Amino acid sequence: MMALSDRTALFAEGLAAAQGELFPCTSWEDVWRYAVSLSDEAPVVSPAAYEQLQRGALPDVNDPLRSIADRAVGITEAALAVAETGSVLLIEPAPIDRAVSLLTHHLIVAVTEQDIVDELADGFRWLARQPRAAAYATFVTGPSRTADIERSLTIGVQGPSRLSVAVLA
């Protein structure tokens, strides 16, 4: 098993290779400030992430769950991240959580550094121990990519065009 700092560095490399961005931070307040700095429009927040933000006594956004489609920035939380691939594992049992991760243009995913595992196989083992979570689990590796029959690659058609992962130390 890798040391935590080695795992985080490997995760950062994998995320960059998938065209994702790493945002190291120490608190949910840092995540919020980063999200707010990206757009004049208030970020939309998944319910799970909103609970974390509220614990930090952050400003209450005017109904953060309103009109999710095509919002500039969305914030959600990952159950874990995979160093080997730069992927994050989203567990989203509620449709509104999935809407935030699929319909916003720039998705910020928060994960704690302790929740970064070495390999994809570790992620699947974790999932195997969470039988109910597996029904709503998605490994996300970078921004959404879609290619048509002519092999023309487009970013952001079926998901966010930009992905940032906030690693909470």
pLDDT value, residue 80: 95
Contact call for residues 125 and 137 (beta carbons, < 8 A): no
pTM of the model: 0.82
Strand partners, 125: none
For residue 153, count CB atoms less than 10 angstroms from its CB and return exposed for 0-12, middle for 13-18, buried for 19 or more.
exposed
pLDDT value, residue 16: 92
Q: What is the mean pLDDT of each run of 10 residues along the chain (169 residues)?
A: 79 92 90 91 82 61 60 91 94 84 90 95 92 80 69 63 91
pLDDT value, residue 56: 59
Question: In sequence order, what are the residues at sequence separation of 6 or more whose Cβ sits closer than 8 angstroms to the Cβ of residue 62?
Answer: 42
Number of structural domains (the chain) is 1
Residue 17: domain span? 4-168
CATH number at residue 47: 3.40.50.10420
